[in-house]
C-alpha cells in the first residue's frame, strides 16, 4: 500500500497491531519498574516478563519451574535467518523467474501481483537475503552464546515473523508516484543499508570480543560492560542498526510504501523493548555503568 491509498489491508492491520502490542509491552515494563517489590513478583507479571525477555535479561528472572519447560536455547536464533534466506530466495524465484502470478488476497483490493515485480522490490528481497546471510554467519561463527534461553512462543513467533516479512515485501510491490520510485531515494536506502549493516557487524564483533582472548579463543561466558564503537553512546547499537536497516529498506522500496513503514514502526517498538531490557540490566548490575548512555537510540531513548 502507498500513501495515496490509506485504507488498511489485513497485512497493514497485522503490522499495526504488532507495533501496538510492543508499544504496550514497553510501557508496561517501564511502569512495572515503579511498582512495589511484592507486585513485581506476582504470577501475572512474572509470566509477562518471561514472554518479553531472552538471553542475559532472562537469567535473573525468578520463575516457577513449570515456566522453564518452555525454554529453548537462544543460540537457535540462527534458525530465523536460515528460514529467511530460504524463504526469500524461494519468493524471488517464484515471483521473478518462474513467470507466474502470485495471488495476494491479504491486500485491501484483493489484486494480483505481477510475476515481474518492481526492480525496487527485487532489490529489497536481495537485501533481505544479504542481511539474513550475514546474521546467520555471525550467529554461527562470530557470536559467543552462553546457555541463555528464550521462550518457545518467542521462537515460534520469530519463525513466523520472517515468513510474513517476505510476503510483506511482495505486498508492498505496487506502482507508485514518480517520486516514490525516484532513483536517489533508492540509492540513499542502499547506502544506509550498507552503513547500518557495518555498524551492526562491528557491534556484534565487539560483543563477541568480550568473551574472547587475544588469540580469538573463548575464555569466558560471563557478561561484561561493552565498550568501543557506538557502545559509547548506547547500550545496544546493534538494535539501533537493526532499525536503520529496516528504514533503509523502506527507502529502497521508494520511500512511500505505507505497509513497510508500519513494519518499521513495529521494529522500532520491538527493538526499543529489547534495548531497554538490556540497558536496565547493565545499569542494575554495574554501579560504574556510564550515565550518559541511552538504551538504543543515541541521545533519545
* Residue 296 placed within a domain: no
* Residue 299 placed within a domain: no
Residue 174: its pLDDT value, please? 56
More confident residue, 193 or 7: 193
Could you give the C-alpha distances from 24 to 19, 33, 270, in angstroms and in order?
A: 9, 14, 10
Count: domains in the chain: 1
The model's pTM? 0.89
* Residue-averaged pLDDT of the chain: 87
Determine the longest span between alpha carbons in the chain, in angstroms: 61
What is residue 107's DSSP assignment? Answer: S
* Residue 297 placed within a domain: no
Predicted confidence (pLDDT) per residue in 131-141, tens digit: 999 999 999 99
More confident residue, 301 or 199: 199
* Residue 3 placed within a domain: no
Hey, which bits of 22-164 come out as E strands?
71-73, 102-103, 112-113, 149-151
CB environment 276-289: b (16+ within 10 A), e (fewer): bbbbbbbeeeeeee
Q: Is the pLDDT of residue 33 over 60?
A: yes
Predicted confidence (pLDDT) per residue in 78-126, tens digit: 999 999 999 999 998 887 665 444 445 444 444 444 445 678 888 899 9
Q: Which helix (H) or strand (E) holds 58?
A: none
* Residue 4 placed within a domain: no
Predicted confidence (pLDDT) per residue in 34-62, tens digit: 877 666 778 889 999 999 999 999 988 88
Could you give the C-alpha distances from 81 to 17, 127, 191, 219, 301, in angstroms and in order?
A: 24, 13, 22, 27, 27
* Residue 291 placed within a domain: no
Average pLDDT for 244-270: 94
Residue 99: its pLDDT value, please? 46
Predicted confidence (pLDDT) per residue in 185-208, tens digit: 888 999 999 999 999 999 999 999
* Residue 29 placed within a domain: yes
Structural domain containing residue 73: 10-285
* Residue 290 placed within a domain: no
Amino acid at each position: 500500500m502507498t500513501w495515496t491509498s490509506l485504507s488498511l489491508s489485513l497485512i497493514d492491520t497485522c503490522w499495526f497491531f504488532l507495533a501496538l502490542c510492543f508499544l504496550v509491552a514497553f510501557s508496561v515494563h517501564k511502569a512495572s519498574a515503579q511498582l512495589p517489590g511484592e507486585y513485581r513478583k506476582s504470577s501475572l507479571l512474572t509470566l509477562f516478563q518471561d514472554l518479553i525477555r531472552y538471553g542475559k535479561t532472562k537469567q535473573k528472572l525468578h520463575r516457577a519451574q513449570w515456566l522453564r519447560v518452555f525454554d529453548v536455547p537462544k543460540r537457535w536464533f540462527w534458525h530465523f535467518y536460515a528460514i529467511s534466506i530460504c524463504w526469500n530466495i524461494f519468493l524471488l524465484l517464484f515471483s521473478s523467474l518462474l513467470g507466474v502470478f502470485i495471488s495476494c488476497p491479504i491486500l485491501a483490493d484483493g489484486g494480483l501481483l505481477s510475476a515481474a515485480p518492481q526492480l525496487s522490490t527485487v532489490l529489497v528481497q536481495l537485501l533481505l537475503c544479504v542481511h539474513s546471510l550475514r546474521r546467520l554467519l555471525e550467529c554461527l561463527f562470530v557470536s559467543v552464546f552462553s546457555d541463555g534461553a528464550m521462550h518457545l512462543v518467542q521462537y515460534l513467533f520469530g519463525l513466523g515473523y520472517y515468513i510474513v516479512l517476505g510476503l510483506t515485501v511482495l505486498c508492498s510491490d505496487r506502482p507508485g508516484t514518480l517520486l516514490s520510485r525516484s532513483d536517489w531515494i533508492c540509492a540513499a536506502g542502499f547506502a544506509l543499508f550498507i552503513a547500518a549493516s557495518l555498524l551492526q557487524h562491528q557491534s556484534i564483533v565487539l560483543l563477541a570480543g568480550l568473551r574472547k582472548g587475544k588469540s580469538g579463543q573463548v575464555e569466558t561466558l560471563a557478561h561484561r560492560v561493552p565498550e568501543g564503537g557506538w557502545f559509547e553512546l548506547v547500550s545496544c547499537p546493534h538494535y539501533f542498526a537493526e532499525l536503520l536497516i529496516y528504514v533503509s529498506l523502506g527507502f529502497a522500496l521508494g520511500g512511500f510504501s505505507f505497509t513497510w513503514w508500519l513494519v518499521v514502526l513495529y521494529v522500532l517498538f520491538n527493538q526499543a523493548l529489547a534495548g531497554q531490557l538490556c540497558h536496565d540490566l547493565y545499569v542494575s548490575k554495574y554501579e560504574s555503568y556510564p550515565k550518559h548512555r541511552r538504551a538504543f537510540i543515541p541521545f533519545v531513548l
